Structure 1
Amino acid sequence: MARETLTRDQIVRTAVELLDAEGLEGLNMRALGKRLDSAATAMYWHVKNKDNLVLLATDQVWGELSLPDLDAVDWRSAATTMAVDLYGMFTRHPWLVQAFAAHVLYGEGKARHDDHTLAVYEAAGFTGTQADQAASAVFTYVLGNAAGVAATASLTRKLTRDDTTAEEQFQDAMTKAQEIARRHPRLRARLETPAAATYAAAPDRAFEFGLQALLDGLERQRAEG
């Protein structure tokens, strides 16, 4: 594909597909050009560099998020919807968690989402710094929960690439972790229950439980303030 027929939108959408498949470490102009059947140098006519491409890809997926109508729903419902949607975005695109650790992420889509998030907490009665703190607390909770999903995705890619050796290393690490855990009564009891498929696995609906507990705390703090 000649550079004249490429568009920035094509490049960004393909970059998202590549990031979903290979993670942040798999994104480079050569791999992107191969997916687009184009020379790697053609990419630079539309994007400045890899960092710029990551920003564009990030803003592309941020556009997937819907913004609840605050005239139609209460703040708590809106906050829950936005947090669940955000978590869903991170789990669909786990490379985003990596990107937060390596880049300063910004763009129109993210700004639109962040602005509406503040509107949600202002609707709850938080003002100024308090609204920032409430929004930050929920965002950090969502991002922290998504870190496990991102780590699993990264490990899965490694197992796929390295085949037997990585699988053996993983199983060996899990065996050693369980051996240590069994020395402690509460961890041992959980490992011995049928629901404990793997060591340190999160229980069902842990994300929802924690999110509602966090929103309970914010609601109580606002009522008492």
Structure 2
Amino acid sequence: MKESIWTRTRAAAPVRETLSREQIVQAAIETLDAEGVAGLSMRKLAAKLDAGATSLYWHVPTKDDLIDLVIDETYGEVDVPEPELAGWRAGALLFGHSLRAMVLRHPWLPEVIYTRPSIGPNATSLGSRGLVLFGAAGFADRDVDFAMGSVMSYVFGTANAEVAVHTAIRNSGRSTDEWVGDVLEQARVATANDPQMQESLRRRSNRDLATMHTESFVFGLDALLDGLATRVKK
């Protein structure tokens, strides 16, 4: 595995250099949020910052390094409360909702976040605070890692599915209501002889997509935390 930007010695920028790494990262996140990974290039970013490509490379040697930096920056948006203030269960709920909101704000994340280790300062701080939070529940040894990992896996899985649906709707050129209506109608036809599925479709027919996603997420996260609570060793 090649050396990470987080373990590599950072070269000093020229004295007259006015561009900062922080400016580059923020501009990159804005571009990614608007255009996705395919829309990000060092040349485009340099133009956005009204800077030469050389200035960018002093701070961020490669596009891969830039992706590592922007991923870590997004981890800094996630709230992980101290268990003394919220209690582990309420804290875990807040953590889960904050992580989901972060992924939905940055729908390009699922495309890149699984391809590299998250070892930047924000990611490791989140991990450390999360372990304290789940440790306060009574989990110990490997169980604290598994408990936190289970919540993160659930959040990323559901949020990534939401991102995929929103991407499909955007690519279709149709409104959300039109897209959902078409999907439900096709499902009604395909399951016409299945009363259980027909009833499920009726339950969903009067719910907007955002509400359904949120209600499903809340139900699943509550159920997961209920299950974790039963595994705490007394």
Residue pair 2:25, 2:70 contacting (<8 A) in 1 also: yes
2:75 is aligned to 62
Q: Corresponding residue for 1:211?
A: 221
Call closer, same or farther: CA 1:99–1:32 in 2, change over 3 Å. same
Number of aligned positions between the proteins: 213
**Structure 1 residues 26 and 149: CA distance shift in structure 2, 3 A:** farther
* Cα displacement (A) at 1:43: 1.8
Answer with 127-136 or 26-35: which moved more: 26-35
The 5-angstrom pairing of residues 1-225 of structure 1 reads 4-156=17-169, 158-159=171-172, 174=183, 176=186, 179-193=189-203, 194-195=205-206, 202=212, 204-222=214-232
Q: Assess if the C-alpha contact under 8 Å between 2:151 and 2:224 holds in 1.
A: yes
Question: Whole-Å Cα distance in 2 between the matches of residues 91 and 203 of structure 1?
Answer: 12
After the TM superposition, which parts of structure 1 deviate over 6 Å for at least 4 consecutive aligned residues?
Answer: none
**Kept in 1: contact 2:79–2:99 (CA 8 A):** no
Q: Find the aligned partners of 2:38 and 2:193 in 1 and give their Cα distance.
A: 37
Distance 2:97 2:52 in 1: 39
| Secondary structure of the structure 2 residue equivalent to 1:5 | coil
State the distance in 2 between where 1:179 and 1:29 align.
Answer: 48
**Normalising by the residue count of structure 2, what TM-score does the alignment of the two structures yield?**
0.79
| Distance (Å, rounded) in 1 between the aligned partners of 2:85 and 2:232 | 22
Letter in 2 for 1:195: N
Counterpart-to-counterpart distance in 2, 1:102 and 1:220: 33
TM-score scaled by length of structure 1: 0.82
CA distance in 2, matches of 1:180, 1:40: 54
Matched residues, percent identical? Answer: 35
Q: Secondary structure at the match of 1:65?
A: coil
Is the 2:162–2:213 contact (alpha carbons within 8 Å) kept by the matching residues of 1? no
Deviates more, 1:91-100 or 1:136-145: 91-100
Contact 1:117 1:135 survives alignment (8 Å): yes
- Alpha-carbon distance in 1 for matches of 2:123, 2:213: 30
2-structure distance, mates of 1:204, 1:71: 27
